[in-house]
């Protein structure tokens, strides 16, 4: 990745993280749905990023968000798990779509692979993140259904915002099919 790509990734991280800590942390729908849009910065990491590097980036980003949410390490753990599961999500996308879908793709986005493959990829990782985040935060079995409701509602909210942001702000060149 050239310096232009690194600059674009850095801007992505800064914008999504600023949006999270300045705006989205104050938006709650129906007292159960929270948006963690900062995970989009991790979803949009280049595909050729080594897994240990992506997990280290995820840990640092999660710890940074944890500072603003007063959740010591919970976001970091959820982000690291998300990046650990990323190869499996990529395998799901490539097996459920036409062969060669990821060939020549550097960043998996709506414009590079299309709506359905991006939705599968993002859904798997966002719901893994949210499941970890909310169940570790709850830490009690008697809150199972309330926590599950938060996971589903927040996962759908976050997924919706991430997909909308892809359509509004994605500048990744469209792939020739």
The predicted pLDDT at position 50 comes to: 93
Whether the pLDDT of residue 3 is over 70: the answer is: no
Taking only the tens place, the pLDDT of each residue in 32-89 is: 999 999 999 999 999 999 999 999 999 999 999 999 999 889 999 999 999 999 999 9
pTM, full prediction: 0.90
Taking only the tens place, the pLDDT of each residue in 117-167 is: 999 999 999 999 999 999 999 887 788 999 999 999 999 999 999 999 988
The predicted pLDDT at position 177 comes to: 46
The span from the CA of 66 to the CA of 52, in Å, is 21
Is 3-169 assigned to CATH 3.20.20?
no
| Residue 162 neighbours by CB distance under 10 Å | 25
Helix (H, G, I), strand (E, B) or coil at 102: coil
Give, to the nearest 10 degrees, the angle between helix 51-69 and helix 3-22.
30
Spell out the domain ranges in the chain.
3-169
Following CA atoms 120, 110, 87, 10 in sequence, which dihedral angle do they give, to the nearest 10 degrees? Answer: -140
Following CA atoms 154, 112, 19, 125 in sequence, which dihedral angle do they give, to the nearest 10 degrees? Answer: 30
């Amino acid at each position: 990745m050239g310096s232009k790509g690194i600059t674009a990734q850095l801007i992505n991280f800064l914008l999504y993280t600023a949006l999270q800590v300045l705006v989205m942390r104050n938006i709650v729908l129906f007292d159960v749905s929270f948006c963690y849009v900062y995970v989009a910065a991790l979803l949009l990491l280049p595909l050729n990023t080594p897994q240990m590097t992506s997990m280290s980036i995820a840990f640092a980003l999660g710890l940074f968000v944890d500072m603003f949410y007063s959740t010591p390490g919970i976001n970091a753990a959820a982000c690291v798990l998300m990046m650990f599961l990323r190869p499996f999500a990529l395998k799901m996308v490539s097996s459920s779509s036409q062969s060669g879908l990821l060939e020549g793709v550097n960043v998996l986005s709506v414009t590079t692979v299309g709506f359905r493959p991006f939705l599968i990829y993002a859904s798997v990782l966002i719901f893994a993140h949210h499941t970890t985040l909310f169940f570790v935060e709850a830490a009690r079995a008697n809150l199972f259904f309330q926590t599950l409701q938060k996971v589903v509602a927040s996962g759908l909210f976050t997924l919706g915002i991430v997909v909308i942001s892809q359509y509004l702000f994605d500048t990744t060149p469209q792939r020739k099919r």
